[in-house]
Structure 1
Amino acid sequence: MGNLHSLMDGFSIALTYQHIFIMVAGVLLGLVVGVLPGLGAPNGVSLLLPLTFTMDPVSAIILLTSMYWGALFGGSTTSILFNIPGEPSSVATTFDGYPMAQGGAAGRALTLAFASAGFGALIGVVVITLLSGWMAGFAMKFGPAEFFAVYFIAFAGFIGMSSGSAFKTVVSMALGFGLATVGMDTVSGASRLTFGFDNLIAGISFLIAVIGLFGFGELLMTIEEGAKFKGVRAKLTLREIGSALAELPRYWKTLLRSSAIGCWMGITPGGPTAASFMSYGIARRMAGNKAAFGKGAPEGIVAPETADHSAGSCALLPMLALGIPGSATAAVMMGGLMIWGLAPGPMLFVERPDFVWGLIASMYMGNLIAVVLVLATVPFFAAMLRIPFNVIGPVIVVVCITGAFTVAGKEFDIYLALAFGVLGYLFKKLDYPLAPLVLAMVLGDKAEDAFRQAMISAEGSASIFWSNPLVTTMMLVGFVLLSLPLLSLARRRKPAATALAEQSA
């Protein structure tokens, strides 16, 4: 009841004309940031942060979080329409969102994405409201070993839940791990796999890889197939939006399961990107019609979008309660709190309850405003599919090149994105999955740092990963997920061996 009373006080702060205007402006800015590949929520919030120095801290954090919601929603747009993720966490949405748009159902795909994203965000904010009181005691139990166990579950889950070849998944993930190690070692300071290129000392940006793999790679595939968008004639009506919204309750199991995954990965250091990949893999594994995934399955859109936004919301909880950001954007926001003279952590709830609960109340309103605005812009974005490829193709090239250059302002990154485009084309031709490679690039360096820190603290003993019930449970879950492909192989071989024995008899 104490949290509910505090939330009501927060609504009295958030529901003012000034703050509602700030929410609308922030969401619109976030939509632009999310749609443009190469910017992303962390960069957008970083660019906007200097403008908040003269603002009241409550108004400033409402502006930044509203932009965050808009960026998360906007990242789905280019993922579905052009197979170019505007946000790293929108990569999994491309797997079924783009094929559905190509099939002439762009409006349905966008509406399903936005509506399920709004549901996931709402669940995430509810979790923040309910759990903010005792979050500090739980998360203080996390050390390097626990962090590594969370990443291990993400990797093992993608291998175990994959419906394709487990071997190809492992190969793709191994390549991603290799790419994640390029650059300067954070522990020893030595350069790794730079091959004499000074531009690689800082490592390979994940956004550069995504722009190349999904942007240029898809362009090469489209040119090979005849340089045509299959969804050029897609049309959109209000009836289509209403039909997609009415369809959403049919996937209630996927919504609830993906929300739970997203909340867990947001509170722990998994983050929205890992949550979207894991949710997609589990949804595909548990689906009755697995063959539909990758061809425009509605669950393939609902699952990653719900998990992405619930994780994005919950990532702010450890930042507020402990001063431990759950995502890159949360880390930027935490820097803003310090600049405004606020110290993130348990005492923030005591010293500045107006700030904390005003922010939480604004998250309810900000997500609602974001859903309304993105649904209002669906006709504009769906109309893009009617533009001929010989017009939109060069535009996509310019957007990709601009996005690649924007990441760090280096010409080298443009050539790197082109190289990843060729790699993405080869992966698709050889039927190797791109998702494990992307996941490994996102989390590989973080998992390595957590593993090495844990081993250093344990003086080289791997027993630290079994040192307490929490980390032991998470490691066991990871090994169970890893064993699923072997169990499936054994089940397939047993009937074959039985049939062979019967034939011999």
Structure 2
Amino acid sequence: MEILSLLGDGIFVALQPLNLLLIFVGVTLGLFIGAMPGLGSVNGVAILLPITFLVPPGSAIIFLAAIYYGAMYGGAISSITLGIPGASTAVATTFDGRPLALQGKARLALVAAAIASFVGGTVSVVLFTGFAPLLATVALSFGPPEIFALMLLAFATFVGLGGDDIPKTVFSICFGLVLATVGFDQISGAPRLILLDMNGFLGGISFLVLAIGVYGIGEMIWTIESTRGEVTNTEAKISVKGIIEDSGTTIKRGWKGISVGSFLGFFVGVLPAAGATPASLMSYGVTKMLSKRPDEFGKGHVGGVAAPEAANNSASTGSMLPMLTLGIPGSPTTAILLGGMVIWGLTPGPRLFVEQSDFVWGLIGSFYVSNLFALIVNLAFIPLFIWMLRMPFTVLAPLIFVLSVVGGYAAMQDMFDIWLLLIFGFGAFFLRKFDYPVAPAVLAIVLGPIAEPTLRQSLLLSSGDPSIFFTRPISAPIMIVAIVLILMPAFKYLRPRRAKPAE
């Protein structure tokens, strides 16, 4: 009852006129920041951080958290309407969101993203409210072996799905892992895979450049080539009745993805150094694995939109938990929020809940309000997003190209990234021509920089003994599940061979 009383006080703080205005403005700004390729929540929060010094610290963190929430919603918009991920957290949404838009079901995809985001955000806030101290303790018990086991499980969900060509999937993952190793070694500091001694490779390959190249330039070239330039406009109708019908379809066909994304996303988000991008990719893979029709994923399945959108919103709240309770940021965006709190004179940690109770519960209360506002604002702007699809492809293709180039340049402001972006775009096009899946490569370049150092740190801790992954109580079951998923395709190949002699 004490928690409910504190939560009620926090929601009352969030509903104060100034805070309510900041929540509305923050969510709206975040929606468009998240939809712009190359920006995302990290850049949006960093750019708008100085504005917060004009308001009290409690209102400032509420405003930045609202931007974070809005950006998580907004990342799906360009993924669905243009096929360009607004941020790394929305890459998995592109897998099924863009095919739905091309089938004339953009409204369904946008509504599914909004509903799943709302449910994922709500579930994560409830879990945050009730289990903050306990979950913070669990997060502390995750060392390098546990995090590596979790990353291996993420790879296993893509290898062991069974719907795609397994050798090609493995090749795609290995190719992505090679790209992830370009640059300086995180442990020894030695340069690796610096092609032709080009200085541009020293900083590594930016995931954002890869994602925009693959899903922006590559998708545009594929659409032009596959349709021979005769691209028909997708359906662009919008009505309140249609939104209600699509909401029912989302719940009916996407409930499994929403459930997986909401819970898995939150627990992955709680882990330091994980964040919303691995959470969304893992949720997509697990949902596809649990589906009765995994072959429909990647072709326009509602669950393929709902799972990553529920996960990235759930993970964004989960990443706040270690920041507030332990002073450990769970994502790059929360690292900026942590810096802001320190500037405002607030010290994150266990004492924060005691010494700054009004601030903490006001922030938690704002999560509930921001989540509701984000849903309303998102649904209200769906007609604008649908309008984008009315443009002829002769106009849309140059727009996609310009947004891709600007988004790729905005991150590091380096022309080298633009050349890489174009190379990845043409490379993704040729991979699709030869039926190689590009999603596993994207997964690998996201998780590779997390998996490799944790693997090496684990082996350093055990003096090179790999049994460390199977002797620790948390990593052992995760490793076993991952190995089973990886071996599943082998069993599927053996079954037909046994059936043939019987026939």
Q: TM-score range by the shorter chain?
A: over 0.9
Which amino acid is 2:228 matched to?
G
Name the counterpart of 1:99. Answer: 99
Of all paired residues, the percent bearing the same amino acid is: 43
Equivalent residue in structure 2 for 1:495, among 484, 495, 499: 499
Distance (Å, rounded) in 1 between the aligned partners of 2:490 and 2:192: 34
Distance (Å, rounded) in 2 between the aligned partners of 1:228 and 1:89: 32
Query: 2:72 aligned with 1:78, yes or no?
Result: no
Equivalent residue in structure 2 for 1:260, among 257, 260, 263: 263
Segments of structure 1 that go 5 or more residues without pairing to the other structure are 500-505
Name the counterpart of 2:449. Answer: 445
Residue correspondence of structure 1 range 451-462 to structure 2 within 5 A: 451-462=455-466
Query: 2:139 aligned with 1:139, yes or no?
Result: yes
Equivalent residue in structure 2 for 1:353, among 349, 353, 357: 357
Name the counterpart of 2:217. Answer: 216
CA-to-aligned-CA distance 1:59-100 (integer Å, 9 cap, x gap)? 111111111111111110111111111021211111211111
Name the counterpart of 1:503. Answer: none
Q: CA deviation at 1:162?
A: 4.6
Name the counterpart of 1:43. Answer: 43
Equivalent residue in structure 2 for 1:392, among 383, 396, 410: 396
Distance (Å, rounded) in 2 between the aligned partners of 1:260 and 1:162: 24
Going from structure 1 to structure 2, the CA distance change for 1:489 and 1:325 (only over 3 Å counts) comes to farther
8 A contact 2:103–2:234 mirrored in 1: no
Distance (Å, rounded) in 2 between the aligned partners of 1:105 and 1:273: 25
8 A contact 1:232–1:388 mirrored in 2: no
Query: 2:20 aligned with 1:17, yes or no?
Result: no
Q: TM-score, normalised by structure 1?
A: 0.95
Distance (Å, rounded) in 1 between the aligned partners of 2:501 and 2:69: 54
Deviates more, 1:288-297 or 1:412-421: 288-297
8 A contact 2:200–2:416 mirrored in 1: yes
Distance (Å, rounded) in 1 between the aligned partners of 2:284 and 2:333: 22
CA-to-aligned-CA distance 1:318-359 (integer Å, 9 cap, x gap)? 221222222221222222222222222212212211121111
Residue correspondence of structure 1 range 73-472 to structure 2 within 5 A: 73-195=73-195, 196-224=197-225, 225-250=227-252, 251-269=254-272, 270-472=274-476
Which amino acid is 2:490 matched to?
L
Q: CA deviation at 1:229?
A: 4.0
Name the counterpart of 1:502. Answer: none
CA-to-aligned-CA distance 1:423-471 (integer Å, 9 cap, x gap)? 1101211111111111111110111111122222222222322332112
Q: CA deviation at 1:254?
A: 3.2
Q: Secondary structure at the match of 1:469?
A: coil
Q: CA deviation at 1:253?
A: 3.3
Q: CA deviation at 1:230?
A: 4.0
Going from structure 1 to structure 2, the CA distance change for 1:65 and 1:229 (only over 3 Å counts) comes to farther
Distance (Å, rounded) in 2 between the aligned partners of 1:314 and 1:36: 24
8 A contact 2:180–2:444 mirrored in 1: yes
8 A contact 1:81–1:98 mirrored in 2: yes
Q: TM-score, normalised by structure 2?
A: 0.96
Distance (Å, rounded) in 2 between the aligned partners of 1:366 and 1:229: 38
Segments of structure 2 that go 5 or more residues without pairing to the other structure are none
CA-to-aligned-CA distance 1:338-387 (integer Å, 9 cap, x gap)? 22222222122122111211111100100110110011000011011110
8 A contact 1:229–1:385 mirrored in 2: no
Which amino acid is 1:234 matched to?
A
Q: CA deviation at 1:283?
A: 2.2
Distance (Å, rounded) in 1 between the aligned partners of 2:423 and 2:481: 37
RMSD (Å), alpha carbons: 1.6
Distance (Å, rounded) in 2 between the aligned partners of 1:467 and 1:353: 40
Which amino acid is 1:261 matched to?
L
Name the counterpart of 1:27. Answer: 27
Deviates more, 1:1-10 or 1:109-118: 1-10
Which amino acid is 1:129 matched to?
T
8 A contact 1:39–1:403 mirrored in 2: yes
Distance (Å, rounded) in 2 between the aligned partners of 1:316 and 1:157: 26
